Amino acid sequence: MPDDWVARLAVAGTPEEARARLAGLRAAGVTDTILAPTVPDPVGALESLATVLNA
Protein backbone atom coordinates (compact mmCIF):
# COMPACT_ATOMS: atom_id res chain seq x y z
CA MET A 1 0.00 0.00 0.00
CA PRO A 2 1.47 3.41 -0.91
CA ASP A 3 2.57 5.61 2.00
CA ASP A 4 0.09 8.35 1.10
CA TRP A 5 -2.80 5.85 1.34
CA VAL A 6 -1.65 4.83 4.79
CA ALA A 7 -1.42 8.46 5.86
CA ARG A 8 -4.95 9.15 4.64
CA LEU A 9 -6.66 5.93 5.72
CA ALA A 10 -4.89 4.50 8.75
CA VAL A 11 -5.27 5.15 12.44
CA ALA A 12 -1.78 4.43 13.72
CA GLY A 13 0.89 5.69 16.07
CA THR A 14 0.99 6.52 19.73
CA PRO A 15 -2.24 6.56 21.76
CA GLU A 16 -2.27 10.36 21.51
CA GLU A 17 -1.81 10.21 17.72
CA ALA A 18 -4.59 7.62 17.39
CA ARG A 19 -6.98 9.72 19.48
CA ALA A 20 -6.12 12.80 17.41
CA ARG A 21 -6.62 10.92 14.14
CA LEU A 22 -10.02 9.61 15.25
CA ALA A 23 -11.02 13.09 16.42
CA GLY A 24 -9.99 14.48 13.05
CA LEU A 25 -12.09 11.89 11.25
CA ARG A 26 -15.11 12.76 13.41
CA ALA A 27 -14.56 16.46 12.73
CA ALA A 28 -14.50 15.70 9.00
CA GLY A 29 -17.93 14.07 9.29
CA VAL A 30 -17.03 10.41 9.63
CA THR A 31 -19.74 8.72 11.69
CA ASP A 32 -18.57 5.10 11.54
CA THR A 33 -15.11 3.58 11.47
CA ILE A 34 -13.86 0.05 11.09
CA LEU A 35 -10.61 -0.62 12.89
CA ALA A 36 -8.88 -3.89 12.02
CA PRO A 37 -5.53 -4.63 13.64
CA THR A 38 -2.92 -6.03 11.29
CA VAL A 39 -0.43 -7.29 13.83
CA PRO A 40 0.55 -10.78 15.03
CA ASP A 41 -1.54 -10.32 18.24
CA PRO A 42 -4.87 -8.83 17.11
CA VAL A 43 -6.55 -9.42 20.49
CA GLY A 44 -3.78 -7.54 22.26
CA ALA A 45 -4.07 -4.77 19.70
CA LEU A 46 -7.82 -4.49 20.32
CA GLU A 47 -7.20 -4.31 24.07
CA SER A 48 -4.71 -1.50 23.45
CA LEU A 49 -7.23 0.23 21.22
CA ALA A 50 -9.87 0.02 23.96
CA THR A 51 -7.40 1.73 26.30
CA VAL A 52 -6.81 4.48 23.76
CA LEU A 53 -10.51 5.07 23.16
CA ASN A 54 -11.40 5.07 26.84
CA ALA A 55 -8.68 7.52 27.85
Q: Which of 53, 33, 52, 49 is nearest to 41 (CA)?
A: 49
- Residue-wise pLDDT tens digits, 3-53: 898 888 888 888 888 889 989 999 999 999 888 888 899 889 888 888 877
Q: What is the pLDDT of residue 41?
A: 93
1 pLDDT exceeds 90? no
pLDDT level of residue 55 (50, 70, 90 thresholds) = low
Cβ atoms of 42 and 50 closer than 8 Å: no
**Looking at residue 33, what is its pLDDT?**
87
